Structure 1
C-alpha cells in the first residue's frame, strides 16, 4: 500500500519538461541567416572584388599593379566601349517600347471574354521559361536559313539574305528575339493589372457612348498606370543587360557592330586579358543602370499622378 502510494505521488510530481522554443525574433534570424550568408559570399564579395580590381591592370591572373583611375578615364575615350554603350541603349529603348506595346495589346485581348482564354495565357508564357541560348540558336537558323530560302522562293530580294550578316539589320534580329522572349512576363503583369479594373466603369462608359480607344485612354491605362511603370522599369533594366540573345544570334558581329556592354565586358575580361579594365567598365555600367532605373521610376511615378 505504501509502495503504491509512493509511486503514485512520484508520478504526480513528475511534470513533462517543456519543449524549448525560440522567440519569433530569433526564429526570424535563424531562417534569414543562411540566405544572407549565401548572398554575401556569392554576390557581395565578388562585387567588392570587382571594384577592387577596377583600380588595377590585372589580366585576370598573376600579378598586377594599381593604376588608380586610369581605367575609368580610358573608358570615355575607347571607341569600342562607346559603340557598345550606344548599341545597348538602342536595343534597350526599341525593345522596351515594342515589348510593352505588344504585351499590353495581347493582355487586353486575353482579358476579354474569348474562348480558350486560360489555355492561351499558358501558351503565351512558354517563351519566358525556355532557355535563351537554345531559343537563340533556333532563331539563328530561322534568320540564316529558313527566311532566306522563303525569300528566294517568293522573289523578295531583301528577305533572301540573312538579317544577321548585315550590320545595319542584325540588331533587328536581336530585338525580335528579345521582345518575343520577354513579352510573356509583361503579359502576366498587365493581365494582373487589368483584372483590378472594375467592369462597371466600362459599362458606364459604353452607356455614355465612349468607344474602345476612349475607354482605353480614360479608364484602362490610368487604372493600370502602376503596372505600366513596373513593366517599363523591369524591361529597360533587363534589355540593358542583353547578353544571351547576342551570343546565340551574332556573337557580337559582324565585326563588333552588335556588341553589347555585357558582351564586351565578358569578352574583354575573360578572353582578352582586360580583367581590371573591364571591371571598371562593369562598375560604370552598374552606375548607369541604377541611375536610369531611378530616373525612369521617378518620371513614370509622377506621370501616374497626372494621368
Structure 2
C-alpha cells in the first residue's frame, strides 16, 4: 500500500515540474523584473525599488484601463448571469428539443474568442450600419466600435453573447439537481412561480450561482482577445483593458519592467475580488 501511494506521488512530479517551469517560474521572474528598469532586451538593467509601482498610480493610461475594465466586467458579469439563468429556466421547463437547444446555446463557447471578435467586427463595420441606414436610424447607421462613448457597449454585447453559453450549461446542470417533489409540494401549498423561484430554485442552485459569478467576473477582468479582435483598444484608448495595456506597453512599448509591476497589481486585484466574491456568496448560500 505504501509503495502504491509513493508511486502516485512520483507520477505527479513531471506535471509539477512542468507547471513550475512554464507558469510559476515566469511569474516569479515578472515579480523580480518589476523592481528593475529592464526594457525587455539585453542584460543591462538596474534595481529601482518600488518606483515602477509609484509611477503606476500617477499614470492616467493605467487608471483609464482599470476604469474601462471594471466597468466592462461589472456590466458583462451581471448580464451574463441574468440572461443565462433565464435561458436555463426556460430550457429546464421545456422538455421538447431540450438537448437540441442546449447544443445551440453552447455553440458560442466552442468558437474561438478571436474568431467571434473578427466576425462581430465585420458585422459592426459593414452589416449593422446598412441595416441602420435602411431603418432610417442615424445611431445604428454608424459603426458603434468607432464611437469613443459607445464602443464599450459593442464590446460588452459580444462578451455577453459568448459568455452566456457556458453559464447556461452550468445553471441547467444545477436546475436538474433539484428534486421535482419539492415543486409538487409547493404547488399543493399554492406557491406562485416567483415564490417557487425565490424560495426553492435560487437557494438550491446557489452554489452554481457562486461559481458562475466568480468565473464571469474573472474572465471579464482578464479580457484581452476580444479587445484585440474588435477595437485593439480604440478608438483612442476608450476600450483598452488592463491586459491589453500590459501587452502593448510591455512587448511593443519597451515598458517590460513597468508593465510587470502593473501585472503584479493586476494579479492582486483579481485575487482579492475573487476571494471577496467567494466569501460573500458562500455566506449567502448558508443564509438561504
Q: Hey, what's the Cα distance between the residues in 1 that align with 2:221 and 2:251?
A: 20
Structure 1 counterpart of 2:16:
36
Q: Which residue matches 1:14?
A: none
Structure 1: which 5+ residue stretches go unaligned? 1-20
Q: CA deviation at 1:83?
A: 0.8
Structure 1 position 26 matched with structure 2 position 9? no
Q: How does 1:195-274 map to 2 (within 5 A)?
A: 195-274=176-255
Report the secondary structure of 1:259's partner residue. coil
What is the match of residue 173 of structure 2?
A: 192
Separation in 2, partners of 1:65, 1:255: 33
Over residues 9-56 of structure 1, what are the superposed CA-to-partner deviations in whole Å (9 max), with x where a residue is unaligned?
xxxxxxxxxxxx982222212321111111010001100100010001
Matches within 5 A, 1:118-137: 118-137=99-118
- Cα deviation 1:221-242 (Å, max 9, x = unaligned): 0111111011101111110000
Q: Which runs of 4+ in 1 moved over 3 A?
A: none
Of stretches 207-216 and 219-228 in structure 1, the one that deviates more from structure 2 is: 207-216
Structure 1 match to 2:37: 57
Alpha-carbon distance between aligned partners in 2 of 1:128 and 1:30, rounded to the nearest angstrom:
36
**Residue in 1 that maps onto 2:70:** 89
Equivalence for 1:183: 164
- What residue is the counterpart of 1:46 in the other structure? 26
Distance in 1 between the 2:129 and 2:193 partners?
39
* 1:98 shift after superposition: 0.4
Deviations 1:87-120, CA, capped at 9 Å, x for gaps = 1000100000000001111111111233110111
**Which runs of no fewer than 5 residues in structure 2 stay unpaired?**
none
Q: CA deviation at 1:159?
A: 0.5
Q: In structure 2, how many angstroms separate the alpha carbons of the residues matched to 1:35 and 1:121?
A: 34
Number of aligned residues? 287
Give me the whole-angstrom Cα distance separating, in 2, the residues matched to 1:206 and 1:255.
Answer: 56
Partner of 2:124: 143
Cα deviation for residue 269 of structure 1 reads 0.2
CA–CA separation in structure 2 for the residues paired with 1:188 and 1:215 = 21
Distance in 2 of aligned mates of 1:55 and 1:95: 34
TM-score by length of 1: 0.91
Greater Rg, structure 1 or structure 2?
Answer: 1
- Which residue of structure 2 lines up, in the alignment, with residue 16 of structure 1? none
2: CA distance, partners of 1:156 / 1:269: 41
1-structure distance, mates of 2:4, 2:82: 46
Q: Which residue matches 1:71?
A: 52
**How far apart, in 2, do the equivalents of 1:113 and 1:154 lie?**
35
